[in-house]
Amino acid sequence: MLLIALRLRFSRPAASPRRRSFLFLALLAALGLSVAASAWPAGPSAGPVLDLAAVRKVAADAVRILRPDAPAAARLLDRLIADAETITAQETTAPFWRREPGRVEASWGRVLNSARVSLAARDRRRQTFASRWEALRPEVAAEVERARAESEEAGVGRREFAAAQRATLKWELAERYASEGQLERALVEAEQARTFSAVVHTSFTDLHSRFRDAKNLKLWRRMVEETVRLSRDERVTAFVVDKLDRKLYVYSNGKRAGVYAAELGAKGLRRKMHSGDQATPEGRYRVVQVRGPGRTKFYKALLLDYPNAEDRARYAWGRRTGQVPQRAGIGSLIEIHGDGGQGRDWTDGCVALSNRDMDRVFAQARVGTPVTIVGTF
Amino acid sequence: MRNKKLAVLTVAALTLTLAAGCAKPPQQEIDGLKAGLTAAEQSEAAKYAPDAWNAAQQAQNDVNAELEAQNNKFALFRSYTKTKELVAAANQKAEEAKAAAVAGKEAASNAANEALAAAKASLDQATALMTELAACRRQPKDFKKDMEMMKGSFDGLAAGVAGIESAIASEDFFGAKAQADSLKASADTLVADMQGAKEKIKC
């Protein structure tokens, strides 16, 4: 257009100079208008007015919020923002005849829509985690606490202590993550704490199942009845130990004359099979030695006639079936002795009483006094 | 003659106008900034240097705002001098974010490894004490249960080391450190219990 104008201005006269000048100025004006039109900023030519600064801030905030919890969504949003920026730059610099009305708005609309959807999904996830955590927290706390208590029960062992320790560690970690707002991680750790607690609880339940078994209960009750009848018929003192309740009952002439707190072997709730298993035996025994101070390490002691015939038969069966280690003997030196009152089961299989209680029991015991140890009755 | 001069002046003015209207955004520098920000992001700046990363993003926003401001002007009045300065500043921030991310990641890795080493040291101390207690001549009957509980606790703690090492291997340094700190606290309690038991049985 410029060339045409110049040609009109400086070419040889074909029309009057006035007319040529008019044509030249008209063309110059058209040229100026087209330059102005192409140089004018694009801006949103159609659709709603877009506040790009505000949209950019919203998008950047969304990316920042999403990054820790939903990195994939944050990356997607980053890409959409980059696309929108490219489109915006293209549209603002493009000449007017190449601009596409609404393209910039559509690109930022995609960004905002993706941000809205991702933030809503993130909020839903967080709410789900929060409600799961609130529901799980008291349950797992109670399970871990129970595991700690159960791991100290007579009969559960090193494996259960280890599981209880791991449950405690995992639970501490879960609470730490939860306090930092990392609920997803807190839930993972809490579930692991629950798994380890379950290991302890399963052992504990297995250990206790025999105390609910009707056959066992019937047998133990019969043993206690026979002992009480013996005490009544022969007018003697007899002792009955309830392993589950950790009690030693004194019967005199068939009547209950005293109850004392008792402590068992470190694995006392198990049935004794062999030496060193720290289990307290179950059966009907008699006192074979009365050991006063100086004759025992544990204040005073009543030595029982363990193993009896039934114990020997069980030991032999255990050897045959491989339940008793090859080198393990049947064991001996099962006593009722003092130095108890520790509030836990700690002996190698004996029954321990506090020294004060031992004094009272010792005073009523003779060689031949019947002692019946049962699971419970 | 007068007309010729006018024409020359007109042509010169038009040329100048077109030249001024051709001011373009510093695309090469902006692309460089984008690459710098991508590099910082790949260095996990958002995780290991959140402050520096936010500063870099803010700088990028400033660049965008300035670009937009210039684009909204009439072409004759656009100037990208300030944009270039902002891009340079944002590039600097992106570089700083990347460097801070690398340093932050290394610091997190070191902290996790140190916490693991401290936890292992506590466990080693527990092992040594356990050996001493086991070798002790005086082994009261009521001590056996304690010993078994301590061994069980030790087993539970020792099993946690593998989880921490695995967390470090998968570059979950913050998680590894949290686990190692918890483990060390429990191991220290166990060591204190063992020392108490040692004194109790006069070993």
Pairing of strands A301-304, A335-337: antiparallel
Determine, for residues A41 and B73 on separate chains, whether the beta-carbon distance falls below 8 Å: yes
- Please tell me the pTM assigned to this model: 0.71
User: Do A247 and A239 meet the contact criterion of CB atoms below 8 Å apart?
Assistant: no
Residue B112, token pair as written in the block: 């996790």
pLDDT of residue A117: 95
Domain ranges of chain B: 26-105, 109-200
Determine, for residues B160 and A159 on separate chains, whether the beta-carbon distance falls below 8 Å: no
In a domain, A36, yes or no: yes
Query: Does A117 lie in the same domain as A218?
Result: no
DSSP tag of A154? B
User: Do B112 and B168 meet the contact criterion of CB atoms below 8 Å apart?
Assistant: yes
pLDDT of residue B23: 72
Pairing of strands A370-374, A283-291: antiparallel
Cα–Cα distance for residue pair A258/A266, rounded to 1 Å: 25
Determine, for residues A41 and B71 on separate chains, whether the beta-carbon distance falls below 8 Å: yes
Q: Please, which contacts does A318-324 make with residues 24 or more away whose CB atoms are closer than 8 Å? A: A318/A273, A318/A274, A323/A273, A324/A273, A324/A274
Does any CB of chain B come closer than 8 Å to the CB of residue A92?
yes
In a domain, A232, yes or no: yes
In a domain, A57, yes or no: yes
pLDDT of residue A101: 87
Task: Select the residue of B57, B74, B183 nearest A39 (Cβ to Cβ).
Answer: B74
Cα–Cα distance for residue pair A362/A190, rounded to 1 Å: 50
Q: In degrees, to the nearest 5, what angle opens at C-alpha A329 toward C-alphas A306 and A221? A: 35
Token pair 């705002």 is at which residue? B65
Query: Does A362 lie in the same domain as A221?
Result: yes
Q: How confident is the model at residue B49 (pLDDT cuts 50, 70, 90)?
A: very high
Which residue, of A121, A149, A180, is where some domain finishes?
A121
Query: Does A84 lie in the same domain as A218?
Result: no
Dihedral, CA of residue A15, residue A21, residue A27 and residue A31, to nearest 10: 150
Cα–Cα distance for residue pair B108/B178, rounded to 1 Å: 11
pLDDT of residue A32: 63
- Please give the average per-residue pLDDT across B60-85, as a whole number: 83
- Please give the average per-residue pLDDT across B146-173, as a whole number: 91
CA of B157 to nearest chain A CA: how many angstroms apart? 7
Of the candidates A211, A244, A248, the residue with the CA atom closest to the CA atom of residue A357? A248
Helix (H, G, I), strand (E, B) or coil at A44: coil
Of the candidates A223, A277, A213, the residue with the CA atom closest to the CA atom of residue A251? A223
What is the share, in percent, of chain B residues with pLDDT greater than 90? 51
Determine, for residues B160 and A89 on separate chains, whether the beta-carbon distance falls below 8 Å: no
Q: Chain A interface, mutation test: which of B4, B76, B149, most A Cβ atoms within 10 Å? A: B149
pLDDT digits (tens, 9 = 90+) for B119-130: 999 999 999 999
CA of B10 to nearest chain A CA: how many angstroms apart? 9
pLDDT of residue A45: 44
Tell me the chain A residues in contact with residue B72 when contact means C-beta distances shorter than 8 Å. 41, 43, 92
- The chain A residue lying nearest B26, using CA atoms, is A89
Span between the terminal Cα atoms of chain B, in Å: 121
Cα–Cα distance for residue pair A275/A174, rounded to 1 Å: 42
CA of A113 to nearest chain B CA: how many angstroms apart? 20
Of the candidates B168, B135, B130, B164, the residue with the CA atom closest to the CA atom of residue B149? B130
Determine, for residues A169 and B54 on separate chains, whether the beta-carbon distance falls below 8 Å: no
Please list the ranges in chain A whose pLDDT falls under 70: 1-17, 19-20, 24, 27, 30-49
Task: List Cα–Cα distances, A63 to A81, B65, B111, in angstroms.
Answer: 10, 18, 28
Sign for the pseudo-dihedral over CA of A316, A319, A323, A326: positive
Find residues 211-250 of chain A whose CB sits inside 8 Å of chain B.
none
Task: Select the residue of A158, A169, A345 nearest B151 (Cβ to Cβ).
Answer: A158
Residue B168, token pair as written in the block: 């470090």
Determine, for residues B148 and A161 on separate chains, whether the beta-carbon distance falls below 8 Å: yes
Residue A189, token pair as written in the block: 């750790």
Task: List Cα–Cα distances, A358 to A4, A231, A298, A335, in angstroms.
Answer: 128, 20, 10, 12
Tell me the chain B residues in contact with residue A162 when contact means C-beta distances shorter than 8 Å. 152-156, 159
Q: How confident is the model at residue B99 (pLDDT cuts 50, 70, 90)?
A: very high
Cα–Cα distance for residue pair A207/B130, rounded to 1 Å: 28
Token pair 């249960």 is at which residue? B145
Cα–Cα distance for residue pair B62/B36, rounded to 1 Å: 16
Determine, for residues B145 and A346 on separate chains, whether the beta-carbon distance falls below 8 Å: yes
Determine, for residues A165 and B175 on separate chains, whether the beta-carbon distance falls below 8 Å: no
Q: In degrees, to the nearest 5, what angle opens at C-alpha A92 toward C-alphas A86 and A93? A: 90
pLDDT of residue B8: 66
Dihedral, CA of residue A254, residue A257, residue A258 and residue A264, to nearest 10: -20
pLDDT of residue A44: 47
Residue A137, token pair as written in the block: 């927290």
Cα–Cα distance for residue pair B38/A199, rounded to 1 Å: 48
Task: Select the residue of A38, A165, A297 nearest B156 (Cβ to Cβ).
Answer: A165
Task: Select the residue of A68, A92, A151 nearest B71 (Cβ to Cβ).
Answer: A92
- The chain B residue lying nearest A85, using CA atoms, is B64
Residue span of the structural domain in which A20 resides: 2-121
Which residue, of A88, A121, A154, is where some domain finishes?
A121
Residue type present at position B51: D
Residue B47, token pair as written in the block: 């995780």
Which residue, of A100, A121, A142, is where some domain finishes?
A121
Among A360-364, B5-9, B179-183, the range scoring the smallest mean pLDDT is B5-9
- List alpha helices for chain A, DSSP H: 2-10, 17-39, 52-69, 71-93, 103-151, 158-179, 183-209, 214-234, 309-321, 355-364
How many contacts does A have with B, using Cβ atoms within 8 A?
129
Determine, for residues B182 and A172 on separate chains, whether the beta-carbon distance falls below 8 Å: yes
In a domain, A332, yes or no: yes
Of the candidates B132, B100, B98, B112, the residue with the CA atom closest to the CA atom of residue B183? B112
Of the candidates B199, B182, B196, B185, the residue with the CA atom closest to the CA atom of residue B150? B196
Query: Does A366 lie in the same domain as A231?
Result: yes
Residue A325, token pair as written in the block: 């280690």
Determine, for residues B156 and A163 on separate chains, whether the beta-carbon distance falls below 8 Å: yes
The larger pLDDT score, comparing residue B85 to residue B21, is at B85
3-state SS of chain B?
A: CHHHHHHHHHHHHHHHHHHHHCCCCCHHHHHHHHHHHHHHHHCCHHHHCHHHHHHHHHHHHHHHHHHHHHHCCCHHHCCCHHHHHHHHHHHHHHHHHHHHHHHHHHHHHHHHHHHHHHHHHHHHHHHHHHHHHHHCCCCCHHHHHHHHHHHHHHHHHHHHHHHHHHHHHCCCHHHHHHHHHHHHHHHHHHHHHHHHHHHHCCC
Token pair 């891009």 is at which residue? B87
DSSP tag of A271? B
In a domain, A40, yes or no: yes
- The chain A residue lying nearest B174, using CA atoms, is A177
In a domain, A105, yes or no: yes
Q: Chain B interface, mutation test: which of A79, A99, A158, most B Cβ atoms within 10 Å? A: A158
Of the candidates B163, B97, B102, B154, the residue with the CA atom closest to the CA atom of residue B124? B154
In a domain, A204, yes or no: no
- The chain A residue lying nearest B146, using CA atoms, is A346
pLDDT digits (tens, 9 = 90+) for A175-232: 999 998 889 999 999 999 999 999 999 999 998 999 999 999 999 999 999 999 999 9
Determine, for residues B153 and A165 on separate chains, whether the beta-carbon distance falls below 8 Å: yes
Cα–Cα distance for residue pair B80/B95, rounded to 1 Å: 22
Q: What is the mean pLDDT of chain B?
A: 87
In a domain, A170, yes or no: no
φ, ψ at A50 (rounded to 5°): -105, 125
Helix (H, G, I), strand (E, B) or coil at A101: coil
